[in-house]
Structures are given as C-alpha cells and as structure tokens.
Amino acid sequence: MKLNFLFCSVVVWQDTVMSLSGPILCHFLFGDLVESEIINVYMIIMQKQSLQHGFEIYCMDTMVQKEVLTKLEQHGKRSMKMQIHHFLMNDRWHWFLLVYKRDEGIFKLWNSMHDPFSVGKAKVYTKFLAASIRHLWGFDLVSEPVLREPCRQQGATLDCGIYACMWLECLARDTDEIWSYAQNVKMDTYRARLAATILSDENGLLKNKFE
C-alpha cells in the first residue's frame, strides 16, 4: 500500500500551472489511450520547441476546447477572446488536429480517421473563431471550407491521439527530417518518443532529478 501511494504521488512534469502524474504517463507508455493531461503538456513543450525553430505556434488547452464546443452546441454563443492557431480536438473519443495557417489564411484538418462527425465539429469551431476574431479585432478569417490535409491513416488502431501529437511536432519543427520521420515511424516508437520528450523537457522528471 505504501509503495502504491508513493507511485501515485510521483509528478513527472510540472510547471507553474500544470502537472502530469507518473501513473498517467506510465499507462500511456504501455499501450493505454492518450489522455488530455498528456496532450496539454505536450502542446506546451511543442510551443517552446517551435520558438527554437524561429516561429511560434499557439495551442488551446483541450479541456477549454471541450467546454467551448459544448457551450456552442447548447447555446450558440460567440464571445471569447482567442489568439490560437493549433487545436488538438476530441470528438467522441477521437482526437484530431485543426490548424489555422496564418500565412495562408485557411484552416486545415489533420485527421487519422476521416469521418463526417469530426469535419462537422471542426466547422462549428472555425465559424466560432472567425466570428469572434472579426468582432474583437475586425480581422477576417476564412472559416469555410475546412481543408482536409492528406495524411497517414491509423487503420484498425486506437492511436488517433498519437498521430495528432506527431503532426503537432512536425508543425512545431517543420523540417524535412521530421516530416519524413512521421511518414514511416511506428506508433509504438512514437509513443516512446512522446514520453521521452515529456520526461526530458526542462520541467520534466529526468531533467530535474538526474542532471
């Protein structure tokens, strides 16, 4: 019981506003579905890495996105200030990546399992963003159509969240090497890469405990 308590109390990543527990990362590493906590931490790390490559990506917390989408579907409200470019979104337990390409002025959908429900969810969100930004700053975004980006498909697996995280890294680094890597890497290998990235980050357990 004491060992179990100590294991549950381990924090493997932490900053001033967010933390990730050891059990969540451990379960993910050994085959469980990716959780929102892991994705939120990974988005923070990818944002920092994009700065190292000369630009910056912006991401929204997945729990905030779910709350916004729920309110939109229930009440149709259009009143929240945002400056976000990348949205790792969840629709009925399926993860996909919605990206606003500022240089092109369009939204793109990265989806490892294309289905009309995810497309519909993305369109609801882009309309909301376009209306909000137009109202707040007078800047027009093209909210439709949402362009589907050709990308690897997950097949008969439950790895959608890992695919979405992988594409987020590709966009954060945006090098020929990382795009080529993403075309061929096995998802179990990327699962390990994702966990190692979190642990070795400046706020991760390995960086803080063993260096």
Q: Go through the domains of the chain in sequence order and give each one's CATH number.
A: 36-185 (3.40.395.10)
Residue 182 or residue 73, greater confidence: 182
Residue 103 or residue 163, greater confidence: 163
In this prediction, residue 115 has a pLDDT band, given cuts at 50, 70 and 90, of: confident
Buried-state track 56-72, b at ≥16 Cβ within 10 A, e below 16: ebebbbbeebeebbeeb
The whole-chain average pLDDT of the chain stands at: 81
Give pTM, 2 decimals: 0.82
In this prediction, residue 112 has a pLDDT band, given cuts at 50, 70 and 90, of: very high
Residue 169's contacts (CB-CB under 8 Å, 6 or more residues apart) are: 46, 49, 178, 182
pLDDT value of residue 93: 78
